[in-house]
Structures are given as structure tokens and as C-alpha cells.
Amino acid sequence: MIPNKKGLFGILFFAALGLWWIFCLPATLFDLPTSTVLFDKNDQLLGARIADDGQWRFPPGDSVPKRFKTALLTYEDEGFDSHFGISVKAILRAIKQNLSEGEVVSGASTITMQVMRMAGNNRSRTYYRKIIEIAQAFRAEFRYSKSELLNLYASNAPFGGNVVGLDAASWRYYGKSAHQLTWAEASALAVLPNAPGLIYPGRSPEAFLKKRNFLLKKLLENGKISQISYELSLLEPLPDAPKRLPQEAFHLTALVAKTRKGQRVRTTVDPELQSRCNRALTNRLKLLRQNHIQNGAVLIVNNHSGEVLAYIGNAKGDWKTNEDANDMIQTPRSSGSILKPFLYAGLLNQGTILPQQLIPDIPTQYKDFAPKNFDETFSGAVKANEALSRSLNIPAVRMLNQYGVDYFYEDLQSWGFTSAHRGAANYGLSLILGGAEVKLWDLVQAYRILASNCSQGKADRINYESVEESIELPVQMSKASSWFTLEALKEVTRPEERSAWEAFGSTSQLAWKTGTSYGFRDAWAVGTNPDFTVGVWIGNANGEGRPGLTGLNAAAPVLFDVFNFLPTAEWFQEPFVGLMAEEVCIHSGMRAGKDCPKTKTTSIPKSCASNELCGYCTTVHLNESGTMQVSAQCYPTNLMLAEKRFALPPLQEWFFMKNNPGYQGVPDFDPACHEESKNKNIRLIYPASASTIFLPREYTGTKEKVVFKAACTDPSAVLFWHLDENYCGSTSGIHHLEINIDRGVHDIAILDIAGNEFKTQIRVD
């Protein structure tokens, strides 16, 4: 039977009405910006950033606390768990009240209806709008569970001013999580959304108190709270003006807001460590600011998990002055000497040097680059591990030159240094002395990998979020190389200021390194043990250098303060694989050769198995008393003594003897062996023989003079200097002579009164 027109119209109308009802809810009820919220590992608030619309609106939580739920439903909607979005009884009661009063005095809104009104941006309360809310509420009950609806309400209800949602209100008014609220606090917050414009903390306290106490009375009458809880709750004060949110991790919050904006992020930060590190850094900077050193940063990482335990991007303050807002953990700064351990590890891994192999520490020139040690002294020759622990610049540059700048630059990329991006050729040999810019984040990550490589072999990135994901870095480093590097760093001299580290247990061993950038602009200190890695940066965020701003004096004391907060750890075990027993020369640290006078058997990395044999030791022939060298041409062979001696090259020897009084070396030739003795006791220190030097000009444009330096084994000798056969002057004691010299190739001759001479040729550009 075909329906008439009226019947067809009715069918279509109700079909359209049904479709409208089905699709009356938008896909997303709330699409408003939310605050970026950071929590520590215990789910306590670390910091937050306000939403883009200026509201403190936290992202929705997982659940609504039981006390708040009970208080809210008791006050707003006791039938919430049983109705389908509307309460007919409440609607009839509201109609009756509104008609008798001649205005809208009651809305009869359920929690579900209030959610719909908030989703509609709280439009005016008209009967038409109420009908729409009723339909939407009824539909919402079919889409969402009761717990979801309650969570939507708690996350979006207004709590006065620019505070939206239960979580934001709980922290703003009580300084605690909503799950920690008392019955009085939960009741106070439960009544706020009913009239947030009329009552909220700081306004109409009498009306606010009356509503809260009314709810507490109702909870008592309904058996939700005991008499004692009720009486104690009445004594609790109302919240005052909104509190400032925690700012223990100001810079980490800002960092997260860049990539996880508007999200709720649970971090791995330990709140106690974060607080103690903040205090330690602040206290240290109180002293350093007397020298106009304003800023500092501290980062702590768990070596086993890679979790960040403390993140202080800058000293705690108002973050508006002294450039405190700059996150110095993520800001690239000149590295100083802090990268030297990775070069040392790379050389061991490559098999180029042995841990105790001698490295020259003498005046060195590479075209226009002449590295100097921090104290401007020379050791002549120094063991590689000692050069690292003493942070000597000249041996480091020599090792980099041997290893290759390109290879080391690639190593830094694999270790995770992201800010050194200008290419190896651009940095050159200065790469090892602070030519590159590094971040404290990358630095701690690399040292942590160095440490964890000795125990668990993990080479993953550090992380401040509680997630399972781990990204591997392409570090190719043997455990043996890492272990020898940490052993060398264990010997670094601690700061003179004992107060910072004397409490650091004598049984607590630490591999650590400092760095100071050119111009005293950056002070670094990084330390690691099997369990933790700590990094410290001290300086001025604006780049201003200050006298005395060194890694040892400024950053190291903070490093040891922080390690005093951490549990002690057993030292790294010597690796079972990757090592081999080898006989090495005690003097040179190289694999022993046939002429080495003293040797020992020790462990070396297997990568060094084919390292060259010692070239410093030689067999010499001495006179019968053993005081002078002789030869068969000038001395009876039956009276000669053959001895194995450790002997450095002349220039290294001259400096080495000053620091090693027990050094014997090779005696001079007997004067009777005149030909053999010539040229043995005079050496040119600067410039090096057959080298090219670059002649700078003074600011006036005139040429600067060149200071020539020589050494002589006879401390009483007088040396006579000649340039291109022209006499220039004489020296005694300290053989330094300033000479005017033109560009070009020149002959240098140095003679003493005994007829000994030294000749060489240099080029001046």
C-alpha cells in the first residue's frame, strides 16, 4: 500500500530527524588548544606551558579521581550512572521552578548535557538550545562510556579565571595532583564549575564556603564520608589566589613544547635529583657571579637505560634576566679540550698507538697553526694516557694529525655530535682544541656510550621520555679501547678547591674530563662511572669570556657536588675479550724491541698487535767507565761496553730532561772521536729545521721579528748565531735570539767556542 503524501512526509521527516540524531555529534567534541604538561617519573608535575588561547587547560587524563567523582555526582548528577543523558524528573522540576519564577533559575542539566553545552562553547541557555543539548546528550550516551563522559567533563569544565579542567585547577589552586585531593579540596573544586564566574578562589569566599560545606553535608548524609572526615573537612581553608605551577624543569618543558606541544608527557626525571642539582648549580653561581659568570647547565643520565634523571638547562631564576631562558644543554658552544678522549679511543681502536706510548710534546708548527699547552710548557715526550689525563694540547694535535682530521670528524658524527657540521676541512687540526661547537646533550650522550660500551655494549641515544624506543648510534668502538680511555680519565687531577670533592668517597672512582674554550668563554666538566654520566657547562650565555672561567675551576666543583648526590658504583671490570698480553718497553710504552733495556708484560688492545716496535731504544758503545760514547775508530774494542739505552731525539730530550732528572739518554762522544761528536750538542728548537715559517706584521704594518730558540747540552756554553753567513749575536744560558729576517730561504748556523756547530735552512713566507 502506497502511503499518502502526509504519510510520506512524516516518514521522511522522522527519517531526517533520525539521521540528524545519529550524526548530531561532531567527530571531536573538543578541539581547543591544550597546555604542554610535563611530569616526572613519579607522575608529579615538573612544569607546564599555557595553551595558545591563554588558558590553563591540561590534556585529558586517563581517569577521574574517585573523591572528585563522588563529590561531583553528589552535587551535580546523582543519577549519572543510571540515566541515558537526561533526567526527566529534574527536567519537570526545572520547568516548574522556571515558570513560577518567570525566568530560568534551574537548568536540570545532567553531566552529559553539561558536556554537550561545553562542547557547544557554552551558548546561551534557551529552551531551543536545551532541546538540542538533550538530543545530543542522549546520542552521546551511545557513543561514549560513562567514564569517558565523566573524563570529558573533568577535562573541560571551567574552574574560574583562565583555569579549565580538573587537573589544571588542582595544580593551580592546591599545588598537587587531582588524585591527591582531600574530601574538602575535591568538594571545593566540584562546586566551582556550577558558577565559576561568581565564586572562585579569591572572590566571594562566603558564598564559596557555603557551597562547599553544603556539599560536604550532603556527602555525610549520603554515607560517602564519615562524621570525623566531615568535621575535619569543615576546618580546611578554601584555596586562595591561583598558585604558580612548578618550574623545576623550565627548559626541558620548553624543549618538549617544541616537539610535543599541547601534550601530556611523562619524563624519566628524578624529582629529588632535579631539585638538588638546581640548588647545587644555583649555589655555585652565587660565587661565580662575583666574577660576572652568570649561567650554567647540568645533565644527568642513567648509563644502563639512557634515561635522563636531571635536566637543568640554566640556573634557576626568573628566566628573564642574565639570559637565563637560554637552554644551554641544547645550545652549541666551543668544545675546548672535552673531545680529546674520543680521539684517544679512536687511535687505540685503530691500533695506531698503545696506551702508554710516548707522544712528542715539543714546540710544533703546522703552517700558520702553532698549538700551545694551557700552561705554555713542554714535556719533551709524554705517555699517551698521561697526555689525555693532563689534557695537553700539543700531543693531542700531533695525534689528530696522525689519525687524520677526516677520520676523526666522521667519528664525531657516529658518536652523535650533531652541531659539528662545517666539515673536516673547515675545522682542521683545531678540531681537537675547541674549533668545533658541541652541545652538552651530545657530549653526555657520547661519554655515556663510552662508559656503557665497557659493560653492556649499548650505543643508543639518551632520552628524557618514558618510552621503550631506543635508537642505535653507529659507534664502532672495541670494549678494550673504551676501557683504556676510561682508565686514563680516572687519573685526571681534581680541582684545587677541595670543598667540592673531598666528600667524594675515596673508593668511588670516576672517569672525568674538563674543557675550556678559547677566550675563557666556556667551562666544561663531564664525568662517568658504570652507572651514571654527568655533564656540566658554566659560562655566559651571551658568549662573554671571563678570566678564570676554566673547566677545572668553574665546572668541576659542580660535577663533584652532583656525584656526591648519586649512589657509589663499582669500577669497570677489565674486559675479557679484545685484550692480549704483550711485552712492552717500560720507557717508551711501545712494543718492545731488541734494544729495549727494560720491558714488562702487560695487556694491550688486540688492535695494537702489529703496532711498530720501539724506536727510541738503541745499543750504544761506551768507554770503559761508561761515561762517553766511543767507536772502533777511536777506542780499543776490547775495552768497549755495549749498553742498551733509552734515548729521545735531541729536541724532545732537551725538554724531557727538565722534568725527568733520572733520564740518562746517550752520553756525548769522547772528544777523541771528534767527527762523531760534532753537531751532537746543539739543537734548534724554533723554528724546526728545514721548516717554513710565516712572518706576521704588527698593527702598524711593520714586520715582526722572529725569536729563534736553541738548546745546548753544555749549560755553560756560549752560542754564536749566523744568518746567511752574517753574524747576528751570541746567547748564553737561555738561547733565545730575536732576529730581523726577510721573506725567502735563509741559512742558519749556530756555533760554540769548542767548534761544535749546527746548520740548517729555513724558508720565511
Q: Are residues 118 and 196 in the same domain?
A: yes
Residues 672 and 689 in one domain: no
Q: pLDDT tens digit string along 600-631?
A: 999 999 999 999 999 999 999 999 888 888 88
Q: Express each pLDDT in 275-284 by its tens digit.
A: 999 999 999 9
Q: Give the percent of the chain with pLDDT over 70.
A: 85
CATH code of the domain in which 372 resides = 3.40.710.10
Same domain, 558 and 583: no
- CATH code at 209? 1.10.3810.10
Angle formed at CA 255 by CA 254 and CA 260, multiple of 5 degrees: 95
Catalytic positions, written as ranges: 76, 337
Q: Omega before 597 cis (within 30°)?
A: no
DSSP E strands in 155-291: the ranges are 163-164, 264-266
Q: What is the pLDDT of residues 685-699, one digit of tens each?
A: 877 766 677 765 543
Tell me: do 73 and 146 sit in the same domain. Answer: yes
Domain identity same for 419 and 498: yes
**59: in domain:** yes
Are 532 and 546 contained in the same domain? Answer: yes
**Residue 63: other Cβ atoms inside 10 A:** 13
- What is the mean predicted confidence (pLDDT) over 169-188? 94
The residues pairing with 320 across neighbouring beta strands, listed in sequence order, are: none
pLDDT at 457: 74
Is 724 domain-assigned? yes
- pLDDT grade, residue 77 (50/70/90)? confident
On the question of pLDDT at 701 being above 60, the answer is: no
Containing structural domain, residue 408: 333-565
Distances (CA, A) of 498 to 146, 297, 298, 641: 62, 21, 20, 52
Confidence tier at 700 by pLDDT (50, 70, 90): very low
pLDDT at 321 over 70: no
* pLDDT score at 48: 95
Give the pLDDT score at 90.
Answer: 58
Q: Which of 219, 235, 251 is the last residue of a domain?
A: 235
Give the end of a domain, one of 565, 590, 610: 565
pLDDT of residue 545: 95
Same domain, 520 and 618: no
Q: Is the pLDDT of residue 646 over 80?
A: yes
User: Looking at the 3D structure of the chain, how many domains does it have?
Assistant: 4
Write out pLDDT tens, residues 107-135.
Answer: 568 888 888 888 877 656 666 667 777 77
pLDDT in tens, 219-248: 999 999 999 999 999 999 998 888 889 888
Say if residues 533 and 443 touch (Cβ distance below 8 Å): no
Single residue among 235, 262, 280 that ends a domain in this structure: 235
Per-residue pLDDT of 746-757, as tens digits, reads 888 888 766 677
In this structure, is residue 478 part of a structural domain?
yes
Same domain, 228 and 164: yes
297 within some domain: no
State the helix-helix crossing angle for 66-76 and 146-156, rounded to 10 degrees.
Answer: 90
Residues 229 and 96 occupy one common structural domain: yes
pLDDT for 16 beyond 60: no
Residue 655 shares a structural domain with residue 708: no
pLDDT exceeds cutoff 90 at 331? yes
Query: pLDDT by residue (tens digit) across 560-570?
Result: 999 999 998 88
What is the pLDDT confidence band of residue 673, given thresholds at 50, 70 and 90? confident
pLDDT at 764: 83
The answer to whether residue 249 sits within a structural domain is: no
Residue 290 belongs to a domain: no
Q: Are residues 670 and 686 in the same domain?
A: no
Judge if 699 and 604 occupy the same domain. Answer: no
Asked if residue 277 belongs to a domain, the reply is: no
pLDDT score of 259 more than 50: yes
For the domain that residue 758 is a member of, what is the CATH number?
2.60.40.10
pLDDT confidence bin for 289, thresholds 50/70/90: very high
- Tell me the mean pLDDT in the region 136-148: 81
Q: 649: alpha, beta or left, given left = phi > 0 and alpha = psi -120 to 50?
A: beta
**Cα 51–Cα 57–Cα 58 angle in degrees, nearest 5:** 105
Which pLDDT band holds residue 45 (cuts at 50, 70, 90)? very high
DSSP string, 486-545: HHHHTTPPPPS-GGGTTTS-TT---EEEEEE-TTS-EEEEEEE-SSEEEEEEEE-TT---
Residue 11 lies in a domain: no
How confident is the model at residue 217, as a pLDDT?
96
* pLDDT score at 17: 53
